[in-house]
Structures are given as structure tokens and as C-alpha cells.
Amino acid sequence: MKEYDSVNYRDVPLFRDVAEEDWNDWKWQFRNTIRDLDTLEKIIRIDEDEERDLERVLQTFRMSITPYYACLMDREYKRGSVRLQGVPSIEELAYDPDDHEDPLDEDVDSPVPGITHRYPDRVLFMVTRICSMYCRHCTRRRMVGVQDEHLSTRSMDQAFAYIEDHPEIRDILVSGGDPLVLDDGPLEAVLKRLRGIDHVEIIRIGSRTPVVLPQRITGDLVTMLRRYHPLYLNTHFNHPAEITRESRDACARLADAGIPLGNQTVLLRDVNDCPYIMKKLVQELLMIRVKPYYIYQCDLSRGIAHFRTSITKGMEIIENLRGHTTGMAVPTFVVDAPGGGGKIPVMPNYLLSQGDRRLVLRNYEGVITTYTQPENVFSDCGHCRICEDERYKPLDGVAKLLAGEKLYLEPADLKRRRR
């Protein structure tokens, strides 16, 4: 079994005298996040050009880096994968005409503050705007790290009322910001209230703390969380360098509490836009019991254009994973559609051709093979209990076409319909 090293914070002069007790205390880490240039310069080398640039960027965008994550940075190398995620770059100020404040229309699809209801059976519930670290590539930078605030009591009440009023919501994604910046008490209040709603079946927490503030995953926290099962947690590792003894231990505590862990990576130029880095990342994630879930195409939020890769790069990465390593390690590569269309999976083509009976497929080795479909493909359905309730529920989208509920879908403003 691979052993991971702890972060050697005593090698950094600024932290040399920090007591171990403090270092391992998430509140100490949180109180001491690095927010200004002077402190940052005590940890990594910043040349004059960079210093001038940073002063400018910090007038527009805030910086916050946990001491722990700062210690993962390469002291000398400007373009290191950890440093790029935490230290602002002058390119954030570049104006790109394709950028949007809210490219995913999360605010448009928001019936009440804090809730984004995009998919039929699940909602995103943003309980805070605060994060322990402000990732430079954050897609929600329009709100995260702008004003430090949790969702107000009044908005909380509205959000719960909305969920209560919508029995079709069976899955809540507690997100932010980072919900684990809340103390155990307020966090438990949220979970308890959600668990009190009959139709809420699963709760998912989205948090980057296992990566940037692993100290947050305390014994007390997991003891509390496990009372609210079925509970899942998705985190956000982007590079193998982020897997340390601390982050591994944090994930182990969560997994030991029966919380299945998933990972959502963002494809970032110069950070992880490489099949070799991604393969190492997904394989190592499985070793710390984290299942790779999604790789996101970097979206069109303002100030992150320098992080974007082609979509093609993501497809190349999937080509290098599928078949080459276990399917357990292969995430789904998705493009989150501008305008709120949600996540759209994109992958290489494995289906080469098809006729009435036979499909022609290729595998990862380039073997071209066939599958002969059965002559009788119609199932003798209509007897099982499961669909008794289901089949009278209205369907959405393309599923509606397949069910024969509609013959076609068309845009609302189709020109020829107005003639």
C-alpha cells in the first residue's frame, strides 16, 4: 500500500513555531487563511512582476488560502498545479467576450434564494457563500468570496419551505460556497431539518475541505454526519499532488462512517489537462476510497478563461482511461450547458455503425467488433409493480418522445410557427 507524506509545515519559516495542536485545528487554519500579499510572500517566492500583478488582481478578486494548502505549493515554481489553483493571476482580469457572470443560469433557475432547481428530482442548496479557500477557477465566483455570508435565517426558511412544498424533490445537494465552513451545530440543524422532510431520500454534501482543509473532518463531525444517512459527500481533488496523508486520513474518517465519497474534478489548463496526470489522479483517488464521479469542462464564468481547455482534451482523457484502467476509476466527462441545460456527457465514439440487426463497436484497443441484436426485442412488460405508479407520471424531454407522449420537441420561438 502506498504511504502518503504529511505536509511538513515546520519547513516553512512562517509556521515553524505553530503548535501541532493549532495546526491540526481547522478553526486555527480557517482563522489564519492567507489573504494578503505580505503573508503569501513569506511562504512562496514571488518575483517583482508577479507582485505588481497580484496587487492589481487583489483589488478586484479576493484571495484566501488555508495554511495547509499553501504548504503544498512549490516555493519556487510559479506554474505549479497547486499554486495555480490558489494564487491569483493577472489573467483573471482579462476580458473575454465569451465570459458570463452566471453561465449556468443558476440564479435564473432559482425559485428562492439559495436553491437552484434544474433537474426534476433534485436541487442544489447553497447554504453559504463562504469557502475556506477561494479556488481561482471557481465557477461560482460571482457569489463565492464576494461577500462573506451564510444564507440568512429567512432565506433558509424559504428554502426549506420550497423543498417541503415539492414532493418530487428526493435528493438535496448541500453546497455553497463550502457547507463545511459551518460549525457542526448549524450544519446539523440543516441536515436535521432536511431529514425531517419525508420525501427527501438522499442528502449529498459538496465540500472541498478534504482537499484544502482536511483538518475539518473531525471525529465529532463524522459522528454527527452519520446520523443523517443515506448521506454522500462529493469533494474536489484536481491533481495527485493534493493527496497527502492529511487528505487521505480525512477521507478515511468519512468512509469509515459509511459516507460514500465521490470526486468532481475540473479540467484545468496547465493543472491537469493531461491523460497521465488524470490517470494517476483517478487511480490514487480509488486508493483513498474516493470514486471519481465527474470531470467538468471548465465553464464560461468571468475571469477563468486562462484555465479553459478544448472539450477535445477531455475526450482524449476519457479515451486514455476507459479500458486502460478499471471502470471504477473512470468519471463521466461533462459539459455544463450554458443557459442552464445541465450536465451533458461527452465521450469518444464507441459505436461505429449500425444496421437493422447488427451494431459495429470498437473497444479501447481498436478492436472492431459486432453485436447482433435479438430478433424479438419487445419485453413482455406491464406486470411488475414498479411501473404501476411510475408510468402515469409526466415525463420530460427526450424521454417523452421515446414514450410516445409527444411526436417532436421544438423551440418555443420557432420562426416558421409564427408565419
Binding site for ligand PLP (CB under 6 A): 116, 118-119, 122, 124, 173, 343
- Binding range to ligand SF4, per CB under 6 A, among 135-143, 156-164, 166-174, 363-371: 135-143
| Cα 268 to Cα 266: distance, rounded to the nearest angstrom | 6
Q: What is the Cα gyration radius of the chain?
A: 23
Shortest Cβ distance from residue 359 to ligand PLP (Å)?
27
The residue within the footprint of ligand SF4, chosen from 122, 140, 150, 248 (CB under 6 A), is: 140
Question: Beta 358-362 vs 351-354: how paired, if at all?
Answer: antiparallel
The residue within the footprint of ligand SF4, chosen from 15, 69, 125, 134 (CB under 6 A), is: 134
Determine, following the binding rule CB under 6 A, whether residue 296 of this chain makes contact with ligand SF4. Answer: no
Determine, following the binding rule CB under 6 A, whether residue 138 of this chain makes contact with ligand SF4. Answer: yes
- CA distance from start to end of the chain: 69
173 binds, among ligand PLP, ligand SF4, none (CB under 5 to 8 A by kind): ligand PLP
Q: What cell numbers appear for 84 in the block?
A: 495555480
124 binds, among ligand PLP, ligand SF4, none (CB under 5 to 8 A by kind): ligand PLP
Grid-cell match 497547486, residue found: 82
Shortest Cβ distance from residue 131 to ligand SF4 (Å)?
3
Phi first, then psi, for residue 161 (nearest 5°) are -60, -40
Shortest Cβ distance from residue 132 to ligand SF4 (Å)?
7
* Four-residue CA torsion sign, 238, 244, 250, 256: positive
> For residue 143, how far is the Cα from the chain centroid?
16
- CB burial class (10 A; 0-12, 13-18, 19+) of residue 20? exposed
Residues in contact with 14: Cβ distance below 8 Å, sequence separation at least 6, in sequence order: 39, 42, 43
- Binding range to ligand SF4, per CB under 6 A, among 32-40, 132-140, 195-203, 243-251: 132-140
| Positions marked active-site | 118-119, 122, 131, 135, 138, 140, 299, 336, 343
343 binds, among ligand PLP, ligand SF4, none (CB under 5 to 8 A by kind): ligand PLP
Q: What cell numbers appear for 188 in the block?
A: 446539523
The residue within the footprint of ligand SF4, chosen from 12, 40, 43, 131 (CB under 6 A), is: 131
For ligand SF4, the binding residues in 148-207 under the rule CB under 6 A are 176-178
- Under DSSP, the state recorded for 6 is P
Shortest Cβ distance from residue 198 to ligand PLP (Å)?
20
